[in-house]
Amino acid sequence: MNVLLLGSGGREHAFVWKLRQSTLCDKLFVAPGNAGTALLAENVALNPNDAAAIASFVKANAIKLVISGPEEPLVRGVADQLKADPELQDLLFFGPGAQGAQLEGSKDFSKRFMARHNIPTAAYQTFTRENLDEGLAYLNAHALPIVLKADGLAAGKGVVICTDREEAKTEFRAMIEELKFGEASAKVVVEQFLAGIELSVFAITDGKDYLLLPEAKDYKRIGEGDTGLNTGGMGAISPVPFADAAFMQKVEERIVQPTIAGLAAEGIPYTGVVFFGLIRVGDNPFVIEYNARMGDPETEVVFPRLKSDLLEHMVAACEGRLASQKVETDTRAACTVMLVSGGYPGDYAKGKAISGIETVTESLVFHAGTKSDGDTVLTNGGRVIALTSYGTTHAEALTKSYQSAKQLAFEGMYYRRDIGFDI
């Protein structure tokens, strides 16, 4: 079948790498893609949020399946718009419609959903400009640290953890009154801080059944020792040592199953991935957030550990027959280190020549923010390259990724040197 993948990051390159292994895949297109996806698929100059342009391309190229890598097309309802086209009634779309994507698109919606279905999460309240004074009083009354979350999409950067009460009030005002994260922070969820260790769990679902993919742990902050500003992700590992069988049973029984059942009970159709951003507190899992798609850079460690046919799983989900599928997992560890542009996640320059990619043999090279200029690959984003390696242990895999990182170079290149050292 012909497949169209929406997106342009490291997650999408990992998708392409995995989809290309399927015997079901004929032509594979990526919109808009990057320098890495161009090596395995055909990049097309389409805006992933432009449903009309996507519909025209789908018709012209006999596309059978559309996959959304990033969240924005899902939250904007691209799936709904394509399914509403009378000429596209047979099109398969892997990803929820706008209603299901609210799990990610609105922190307030997801917290209320969890409350309705008794899914363990931190205590919270939601505030807007209209009840700003109540929000300030709430901040005064609650223990520190306290977590402020922009309600809408903020590219993974709309979360602030405050350890000082005055800082919390200043950030709260900046988010609501000054729209620090744009319209995403016109509504702010103020949440209890949970102390523990985080992990990511991914379920492919057809709205009734689900398949659990390998779990992962990502590293969000820019600085070593998990310090500094939040980023889209600086690295990841899989499997997660503390996610043993007993803990994962709790995750399934208390979180995954009630979530899938809750969506069905509320009449919310959902085909695609539910990403559970979790934290282990003691021996118990709590939901920090939902996402409606695969994570990045988690995808870059999860898909290399997936031995079974991803495309087959996705088609089965779209056709409502996921119960017939089984996930096969590589027992080896996989570890990803992200190379980023100098200045990221703040201001950074683009267009820097990247050298040494062709010399890397011990790691998978997933392009994130890159573009081609003739035979030269240039930086084109904050997160530039993800290096994923296998090993019999995490330490062995990490050693390979760090050795590969030394073979690459571009002006301002930075990476954390402590990924995986906390496990």
Structure tokens at 371: 């573009």
Q: How confident is the model at residue 166 (pLDDT cuts 50, 70, 90)?
A: very high
The predicted-structure confidence for 18-44, as pLDDT tens digits, reads as follows: 999 999 999 999 999 999 999 999 999
Q: How confident is the model at residue 92 (pLDDT cuts 50, 70, 90)?
A: very high
Q: How confident is the model at residue 352 (pLDDT cuts 50, 70, 90)?
A: very high
Rounded CA gap, 266 and 156, in Å? Answer: 27
**For residues 277-284, average pLDDT:** 97
pLDDT at 2 over 90: yes
% of the chain residues with pLDDT over 90: 95
Cα dist. 269→11, 22, 87, 260, 272 in Å?
24, 27, 21, 10, 10
Q: How confident is the model at residue 229 (pLDDT cuts 50, 70, 90)?
A: confident
**For residues 47-56, average pLDDT:** 98
**For residues 354-358, average pLDDT:** 97
pLDDT at 46 over 80: yes
Q: Which residues contact 414 (CB under 8 A, 6 or more apart)?
A: 339, 340, 341, 342, 344
**For residues 348-365, average pLDDT:** 97
Nearest to 184 by CA among 170, 194, 197, 174: 174
Q: Which of 147-156, 292-301, 383-392 has the lowest mean pLDDT?
A: 147-156
pLDDT of residue 70: 96
Rounded CA gap, 114 and 122, in Å? Answer: 10
pLDDT at 170 over 80: yes
pLDDT of residue 390: 98
Determine contact, residues 25/41, Cβ cutoff 8 Å: no
Alpha helices, H only, 51-164: 51-60, 72-75, 78-83, 98-105, 107-116, 132-141
**Residue 311 CB burial class (10 angstroms; 0-12, 13-18, ≥19):** buried
pLDDT of residue 157: 75
The predicted-structure confidence for 107-158, as pLDDT tens digits, reads as follows: 999 999 999 999 999 999 999 999 999 999 999 888 899 999 999 988 777 8
pLDDT at 411 over 80: yes
Which segments within 95-250 are labelled E, that is strand? 124-128, 146-150, 159-162, 187-192, 197-205, 210-212, 217-218, 221-223, 227-230, 235-238
pLDDT of residue 190: 94
Cis peptide leading into 269, omega within 30 of 0?
Answer: no
pLDDT of residue 421: 84
pLDDT of residue 423: 74
The dihedral of CA 273, 159, 14, 101: what is its sign? positive
Determine contact, residues 125/138, Cβ cutoff 8 Å: yes
The predicted-structure confidence for 186-202, as pLDDT tens digits, reads as follows: 999 999 999 999 999 99
- 98-105 helix and 107-116 helix, angle to the nearest 10 degrees: 100
**For residues 381-406, average pLDDT:** 97
Question: What is the set of domains in the chain, with CATH numbers?
Answer: 2-84 (3.40.50.20), 123-192 (3.30.1490.20), 197-405 (3.30.470.20)
pLDDT of residue 172: 93
pLDDT of residue 365: 98
- Across the chain, what does the average pLDDT equal? 96
At residue 79's C-alpha, the angle toward residues 78 and 84, to 5°, is: 100
pLDDT of residue 154: 83
pLDDT of residue 18: 98
Q: How confident is the model at residue 384 (pLDDT cuts 50, 70, 90)?
A: very high
pLDDT of residue 158: 86
**For residues 178-188, average pLDDT:** 92
pLDDT of residue 386: 98
Which residue's entry shows tokens 């993800």?
386
H/E run at residue 216: none
